[in-house]
């Protein structure tokens, strides 16, 4: 039986596989710390203490949508000595190599998703919660052609929700 932690690390490695070199399943041990180190090495990031600690916090707790501020608060509570700038830098590095997916909710709020596969989101206004929409539930019928010299890199759909008045 696999734990949620193993599934998340495997899913993160699956996402990284799509963007980088193949990952050997033999390197996965089910140990979040070891698997985080293997994951970082596979995408070409040096497993520094800060990257390891933040990577473990991100990937060992199941699928997550987290802001830099939320991760910084978690790290502070866990007595991990990192600055908010380091958290931002690490999240952006993880995103660049395909371990995370960045989801902009509005001009001032960006979430980082440990599920780096193509999928869309619900955003619950007032609760500041981001939820995955199952892939088959959003169908984009027609895309506009990109301007000359460009290609569509990704389409992000964020459906905003609010609670109904009872």
Which residues does 14 contact at the CB level (< 8 Å), separation at least 6? 117
User: Among 85-89, 94-98, 101-105, 135-139, which stretch is predicted with the lowest mean pLDDT?
Assistant: 135-139
Q: Are 54 and 99 in contact (CB under 8 A)?
A: no
Can you give the pLDDT at residue 3? 45
Comparing 11 with 135, the larger pLDDT belongs to: 135
- The rounded distance, in Å, linking the Cα atoms of 11 and 139 is 23
Angle at 66 between CA 65 and CA 70, to 5 degrees: 155
| Domain spans in the chain, listed from the N-terminal domain onward | 117-161
Can you give the pLDDT at residue 137? 67
97: its two tokens: 């190599």
Can you give the pLDDT at residue 26? 41
Helix (H) or strand (E) holding 126: none
Which residues does 159 contact at the CB level (< 8 Å), separation at least 6? 120, 121, 122, 123, 133
Chain position carrying tokens 């501020």: 69
Query: What pLDDT digit, counting tens, does each position of 95-107 carry?
Result: 999 999 999 887 7
Can you give the pLDDT at residue 136? 63
The count of C-alpha atoms lying within 13 angstroms of the C-alpha of 126, restricted to the half-sphere facing its C-beta, is 4
Question: Does pLDDT of 146 surpass 90?
Answer: no
Q: Are strands 158-161 and 120-124 parallel, antiparallel or unpaired?
A: parallel
Can you give the pLDDT at residue 138? 67
Confidence of residue 8 (pLDDT cuts 50, 70, 90): very low
């Amino acid at each position: 039986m696999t734990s949620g932690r193993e599934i998340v690390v495997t899913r993160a490695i699956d996402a990284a596989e799509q963007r980088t070199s193949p990952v050997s399943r033999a390197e996965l041990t089910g140990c979040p710390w070891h698997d985080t180190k293997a994951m970082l090495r596979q995408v070409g990031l040096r497993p520094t203490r800060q990257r390891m600690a933040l990577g473990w916090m991100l990937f060992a707790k199941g699928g997550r949508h987290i802001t830099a501020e939320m991760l910084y608060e978690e790290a502070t509570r866990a007595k991990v000595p990192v600055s908010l700038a380091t958290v931002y830098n690490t999240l952006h590095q993880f995103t660049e190599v395909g371990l995370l997916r960045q989801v902009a909710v509005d001009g001032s709020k960006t979430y980082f998703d440990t599920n780096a596969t193509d999928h869309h989101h619900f955003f619950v206004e007032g609760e500041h919660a981001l939820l995955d929409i199952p892939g088959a539930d959003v169908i984009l019928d027609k895309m506009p052609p990109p301007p000359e010299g460009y290609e569509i890199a990704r389409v992000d759909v964020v459906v905003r929700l609010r609670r109904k008045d009872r």
